[in-house]
Structure formats: C-alpha cells, structure tokens
Amino acid sequence: MASQQLDQLDDRATEGGAKMRSPVTLAQFSFHHGGEKDLSSYEVSLVDGFNVPMTLTPHEGKGVCPVVGCRVNLLETCPEVLKLRPAPGQGPVVGCKSGCEAFGTDELCCRNNYNSPQTCKPSGYSQFFKQACPATFTYAHDSPSLMHDCSSPRELKVIFCH
C-alpha cells in the first residue's frame, strides 16, 4: 500500500476528532523509503499500552528483516495499577495501560522537559512491557537498536492473538 493510501487511512481513523483509545497495541509501518534502496520499516509499539498480542513477520526481504512484536498475552500478568476493566475493579481485564495513561505525568509521558532521548527514560512500567516483549517499543524514546531497514519484503504478515 502506498504511503499516500496509508495517510488516507490514518485520516479516516481520526475523522471528526475521533481517535483510538488507549490502551492499544500498535503496528507501525513505513514503506518505500530510502530512495533506490526501497526500504520498509515496521515495529510493534506498546507505548500506548497493550490490548492484544501481535507480531509482524516479513517474507522475502533483504537486509535486516526481523520478526517483531509480542506473542505474550500481557492481560494475564498486567500490574494491578495498569489494568483496564469495563467498570473500575469489576469484570475481565480488557487492556493494560502504559504508565503514561495510568498516571499522566510528564516524566512517564515523555513530554515537556522529558521530551528528549536524554531525559525520557524507561520506567518500571515500561520495563514490565520490555521484559515480556523485548522486540517492541515501550516508551517514547525507546532503543533505536529496534529500528531496522528491510529491503523490499514481498509481504509483511500481521498476526494477532497467538
């Protein structure tokens, strides 16, 4: 799918001010960048929390093309303070909030004075996600070692709920 088509999908997803609701597991893609190299980048992000296991698997690409994501159902092990239920304290856990979503501090949300790689650091909450799912981004300025460039994968398979 072309970048312009992805932008249109993003516009439709936020039309009328509506926006996704956290906590949510996100897949992020960038196709056909890098000029003649025809690179594709992809990642699974738990920066906005977790709601479903997800992995991204490239096929027939060249270069650095790892499988990324999280196979673990974190709803079962989510710390109590991060659990999202349909009603407070009642019902099944439907999401695991990020520290930012749960507490809203500048430090946990990596905003204002904390919005740089030097000041935005992993928290105990982001470490919970990282320990369970090391091949994901877990806070705003997470490790660039997770970034990769895969040249011309034939397909990128998104798998939910392993």
Q: What is the pLDDT of residues 75-95, one digit of tens each?
A: 999 999 999 998 887 899 999
Q: What is the CATH number of domain 3-160?
A: 2.60.110.10
CA distances from 157 to 25, 28, 60, 66, 162 (A): 16, 13, 11, 12, 13
* Whether the Cβ atoms of residue 24 and residue 132 lie closer than 8 Å to each other: no
Residue 68 has pLDDT above 80, yes or no: yes
Q: What per-residue confidence (pLDDT) applies to 61?
A: 83
pTM of this structure: 0.82
Alpha carbons 72 and 130: distance in angstroms, whole number: 11
Of residues 67, 59, 68, 63, the one with CA closest to residue 153: 59
pLDDT, average across residues 36-65: 89
Q: Are 94 and 25 in contact, with CB atoms under 8 Å apart?
A: no
Task: Check if the beta carbon of residue 20 is closer than 8 Å to that of residue 67.
Answer: no
What's the pLDDT at 3?
37
Average predicted confidence (pLDDT) for the chain: 84
74: nearest Cα among 110, 122, 23, 20: 23
